[in-house]
């Protein structure tokens, strides 16, 4: 049965919790870097589902893997093992620091798993439970990850706040030292603050956090939900820095559109978990999701994805500097790889709207920042098209 746009909007108004802005276009089809709405309008997508469909929409390799697995075995519960999960866990470990992996369904769940790891470890190491987090961070929307998210707007009306989280200032080691108490067990940080305004960690800061954790006997937990899986030009953002974390969280693009997440911990930390008691997930690591994850990893090996990210990141930043020279409203351009922010101030919403009307989809981040998240397989031609539209939008503000 075909539905009109008004019928869909009416169904939304009558039957869905209004947690999202449903005045936006209704998308019905996608391929690569392109999206089409219910009216047939085509968009160049520089959001990729907020860094989810990083290989492009409906990537053929991933689509085939999902179709074949769906016809074979979609779910069997974690009471049993499936052949895909252990294989994907090994590939992730081999691509990172050789830890052990737990599969989940979302970034918030992955971060919850790291938080539980830290508390289990802290309990076994002096009865500690506090975690240092950072101003303007974002780690999810569950009650624990909201408490770790140091942006008050997301926590309004959610009191009482879950205890055990202390706040420090991003890229400020002295503030971290001041936040550590005798109850601290871990530090949780994003290598690039995405929702907070696209601020990369400096090398001295992230290396300093590692040294501080070693000095104080703390765990270093990295939220790589948005930065992981190639977004920054390395498989994981921490690999740009001369340091290794104790745990990382992953999600978003792991399944290129299929819900799939994970947290990986040092092998010795895996022993904190007792089968069937300490942690679990009904859907986490099911055969369908991990089949998609294996196809994503295969694409990285076979399709020179990281090479394209590094090449196109340089090209995109050069083209953004062209805009910077033409438009005084641009105050700063920053980021890592193909996670880029353009600081433009109060006109950010107008620019996003103007871009959308002209067929380019972009996001915001923090206060007054445009966020660009193109496909990791983006072409120079697509970048040129995006820059032309951005230029037109900037000329109107």
What's 325's domain CATH number?
Answer: 3.90.1150.10
Phi-psi category of residue 184: left, alpha or beta, with phi > 0 → left and psi -120 to 50 → alpha:
beta
129, HSE (Cβ side, Cα atoms, 13 Å): 6
Taking a C-beta distance cutoff of 8 angstroms, is the pair 118, 221 a contact? Answer: yes
182 and 283 in a common domain? yes
Tens-place pLDDT, residues 30-54? 999 999 999 999 999 999 999 999 9
CATH number for 150: 3.40.640.10
Give the span between the Cα atoms of 243 and 236, in whole angstroms.
12
DSSP string, 35-64: EEETT--EEEESSHHHHTSTT-BT-HHHHH
Give the span between the Cα atoms of 240 and 315, in whole angstroms.
19
Go through 105-127 and write b for each residue having 16 or more CB atoms within 10 A of its CB, e for each that does not: bbbbbbbbbbbbbbbbbbeeeee
Last-in-domain residue among 273, 302, 331: 302
pLDDT at position 257 is 97
- Indicate yes or no: pTM above 0.85: yes
Selection from 62, 109, 101, 107 nearest residue 85 by Cα = 101
Tens-place pLDDT, residues 87-113? 999 999 999 999 999 999 999 999 999
Span between the terminal Cα atoms of the chain, in Å: 42
DSSP string, 145-169: HHHH-B-GGGTTT-PSPPS-EEEE-
294 and 321 in a common domain? no
241 and 93 in a common domain? yes
- pLDDT band with cut points at 50, 70 and 90 for residue 21: confident
What are the distances in angstroms from CA 338 to CA 47, 92, 138, 293, 349? 11, 21, 19, 21, 21
Domain count, the chain: 2
What are the distances in angstroms from CA 384 to CA 86, 190, 312? 41, 30, 11
User: Among 197-201, 209-213, 278-282, whose mean pLDDT is lowest?
Assistant: 278-282
pLDDT at position 276 is 85
Mean pLDDT of the chain: 96
95 and 36 in a common domain? no
Average pLDDT over every residue of 317-329: 97
Last-in-domain residue among 249, 280, 302: 302
Cα angle: 206, vertex 222, 173; to 5 degrees: 30
267 and 126 in a common domain? yes
- List the strands of the sheet with 332-336, edge to edge: 332-336, 339-343, 369-372, 363-365
235 and 90 in a common domain? yes
Give the span between the Cα atoms of 114 and 263, in whole angstroms.
7
92 and 32 in a common domain? no
Average pLDDT over every residue of 59-80: 96
387 and 272 in a common domain? no
Taking a C-beta distance cutoff of 8 angstroms, is the pair 353, 393 a contact? Answer: no
Last-in-domain residue among 277, 302, 327: 302
pLDDT at position 337 is 98
- pLDDT band with cut points at 50, 70 and 90 for residue 1: low
pLDDT(261) > 90? yes
256 and 312 in a common domain? no
DSSP 135: B
**229: domain range?**
61-302
197 and 140 in a common domain? yes
Bond into 323 cis (ω within 30): no
Selection from 103, 48, 57, 40 nearest residue 249 by Cα = 103
221 and 182 in a common domain? yes
253 and 208 in a common domain? yes
- The set of residues, in sequence order, having a beta carbon less than 8 Å from that of 130 and lying 6+ positions away, is 122, 164, 165, 166, 181, 183, 184, 185
- What is the percent of the chain where pLDDT is above 70? 100
Tens-place pLDDT, residues 161-187? 999 999 999 999 999 999 999 999 999
């Amino acid at each position: 049965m075909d539905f009109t746009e008004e019928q869909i909007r009416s169904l939304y108004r009558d039957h869905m919790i209004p947690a999202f802005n449903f005045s936006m276009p209704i998308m019905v089809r996608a391929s690569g870097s392109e999206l089409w709405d219910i009216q047939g309008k085509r968009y160049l997508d520089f959001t990729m589902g907020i860094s989810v469909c990083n290989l492009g929409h409906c990537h053929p390799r991933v689509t085939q893997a999902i179709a074949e697995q769906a016809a074979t075995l979609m779910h069997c519960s974690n009471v049993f093992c499936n052949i895909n999960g252990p294989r994907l866990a090994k590939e992730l470990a081999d691509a990172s620091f050789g830890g052990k992996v737990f599969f989940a369904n979302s970034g918030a769940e992955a971060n919850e798993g790291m938080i539980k790891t830290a508390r289990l470890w802290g309990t076994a190491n002096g009865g500690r439970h506090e975690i240092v987090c950072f101003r303007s961070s974002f780690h999810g929307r569950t009650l624990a990850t909201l408490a770790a998210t140091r942006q008050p707007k997301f926590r309004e009306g959610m009191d009482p706040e879950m205890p055990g989280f202390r706040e420090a200032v991003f890229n400020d080691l002295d503030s971290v030292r001041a936040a550590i108490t005798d109850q601290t067990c871990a530090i949780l940080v994003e290598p690039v603050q995405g929702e907070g305004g696209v601020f990369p960690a400096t090398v001295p800061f992230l290396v300093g956090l590692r040294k501080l954790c070693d000095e104080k006997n703390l765990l270093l937990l990295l939220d790589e939900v948005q930065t992981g899986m190639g977004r920054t030009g390395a498989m994981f953002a921490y690999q740009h820095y001369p340091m290794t974390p104790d745990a990382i969280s992953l999600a978003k693009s792991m399944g290129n559109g299929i819900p799939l997440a994970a947290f990986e911990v040092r092998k010795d930390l895996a022993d904190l978990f007792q089968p069937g008691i300490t942690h679990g997930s009904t859907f986490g690591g099911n055969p369908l999701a991990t089949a998609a994850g294996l196809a994503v990893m295969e694409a990285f090996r076979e399709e020179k994805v990281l090479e394209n990210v590094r090449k196109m990141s340089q090209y995109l930043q050069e083209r953004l500097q062209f805009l910077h020279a033409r438009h005084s409203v641009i105050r700063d351009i920053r980021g890592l790889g193909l996670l880029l922010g353009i600081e433009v101030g109060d006109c950010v919403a107008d620019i996003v709207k103007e871009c959308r009307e002209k067929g380019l989809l972009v996001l915001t981040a923090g206060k007054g920042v445009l966020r660009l998240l193109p496909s990791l397989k983006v072409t120079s031609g697509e970048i040129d098209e995006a820059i032309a539209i951005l230029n037109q939008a900037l000329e109107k503000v």
